[in-house]
Amino acid sequence: MPTFRDLTGGRFDRWTVLRRGPNDRTNKSRWECECVCGAVGLVYSFSLLDGTSRSCGCLIRDVNVQRLLRHGLARSGHKHPLYATWHGILARCEKPRQSGYRRYGGRGITVCERWHDINAFLADVGSRPSPQHSLDRVDPDGAYEPTNVRWATASEQSRNWSPSTRATRIATAATMRRAKLKRDIERLRVALEARRLLQAAGVKV
């Protein structure tokens, strides 16, 4: 018999436990809880204690809003400028009916697990430096993965196997580091902006 634990007054992420609620039909204990957004609900003891319930649902909504704002993937139709690039890569490598599959997936070119999530992909590659740049695999037989991909112009891509390659790669690494720093700053800026928007919309953050 597990010992009874009084959770009254406890804070579990966005929930605050108001009082003991009625047990469910299988006699599991539940608590009447108030979310920071003002919603009240009955939550199981174990859900509070193991962290599976952290809010009335507003937490995940807020996170999704932030994600939407961060990457501009809103349903309103404006997809991220790199959405087509990302989608094309996955299609070429993993959809045998796509044109181009023969030269990619059919040749064993894969996409790393992480990049199946567009958010991870965007975070890793950053934004396109110019319309002339496209994503180039450093090793043409290698996978689409962070260590094997860089932004390159058509002429840089044709230089890929020339003696200047090493110098180019070192310069590229420096560019990538600068780009990452810029991305980090941009991410912070967008997160703050999302917070501001949510606050303006009356969502407690």
Q: Which residues of the shown chain bind Zn ion in the complex (CB under 5 A)?
A: 35, 37, 39, 55-56, 58
Q: What is the number of other CB atoms lying within 10 angstroms of the CB of residue 55?
A: 21
At its nearest, how many Å lie between Zn ion and the CB of residue 68? 18
Nearer to Zn ion, 35 or 149 (CB): 35
Cβ atoms 140, 148 nearer than 8 A: no
Nearer to Zn ion, 44 or 83 (CB): 44
At its nearest, how many Å lie between Zn ion and the CB of residue 202? 12
Nearer to Zn ion, 95 or 195 (CB): 195
At its nearest, how many Å lie between Zn ion and the CB of residue 74? 22
At its nearest, how many Å lie between Zn ion and the CB of residue 46? 20
Taking Cα atoms as reference points, which of 130, 137, 128, 126 lies closest to residue 187? 126
Using alpha carbons, list the distances in angstroms from residue 23 to 19, 29, 42, 86, 132.
12, 5, 10, 48, 63
Cβ atoms 174, 182 nearer than 8 A: no
Nearer to Zn ion, 35 or 90 (CB): 35
